[in-house]
Amino acid sequence: MASFVKVGLLLVVVVVFAGLNLSAAKIYTVGDSIGWTILNSPNYTAWAAGKPFREGDTVYFKYNKQFHNVLEVSKADYNSCKSSSPSATYSTGNDSITIKTAGHHYFICGIPGHCQIGQKVDIFVGGGKATAPASSAAPSPSLSPAFIPSTAPSASAAQAPSSGAQLPLALSTIIEVATMTSAIVLMGL
């Protein structure tokens, strides 16, 4: 009987890990640590080329709002750096834009001269969809609270998004599964 329980427990762990959502939506900070700027001549084309953008992902523009903005524009306006007819305008300095459709999404800075010297980015989104990160389920009442890891958000969770934003969720899930598995084994099931 004990071997059947161990096999069943192993199957549960395998199913949980197989169901771990590794295609969760990602948050990409445009320009990574330098953000959205003209200083040091960032190459946003090269930055975007290395990213596997998917529907549901978020692009995060971090910039000084006194000197920059973000305009979502057509391909023609992107190519000519025309800022007079954007489809959307962002100007908070901390703009998160969730990509909802596949295809090209063109963004420029509308401050005169900035687009012309390279402050523009073409975000190409492939056909695959990323899913929103799963929320944490309530702990099972059959386990002692001492064995349940805390999944409450902390003050550090309010930091600016990064391209690795999905890692804590996956790590939290792995730790939770390992902890519950240990609790079950310790309880003698």
177: in domain: no
Q: Which of 104, 135, 136 is nearest to 122 (CA)?
A: 104
pTM for the model stands at 0.59
pLDDT over 70 for what percent of the chain? 55
- Specify the number of domains making up the chain: 1
Q: What is the CATH number of the domain that holds 110?
A: 2.60.40.420
Check residue 168 and give its pLDDT.
44
103 assigned to some structural domain: yes
More confident residue, 131 or 80: 80
Is the model more confident about 47 or about 160? 47
Identify the bridge partners of residue 90 per DSSP, sorted by sequence position: 70
155 in a structural domain = no
Give the structural domain span for 32.
24-125
Average pLDDT, the chain: 73
137 located within any domain: no
End-to-end CA distance of the chain: 10
Does 18 map to a domain? no
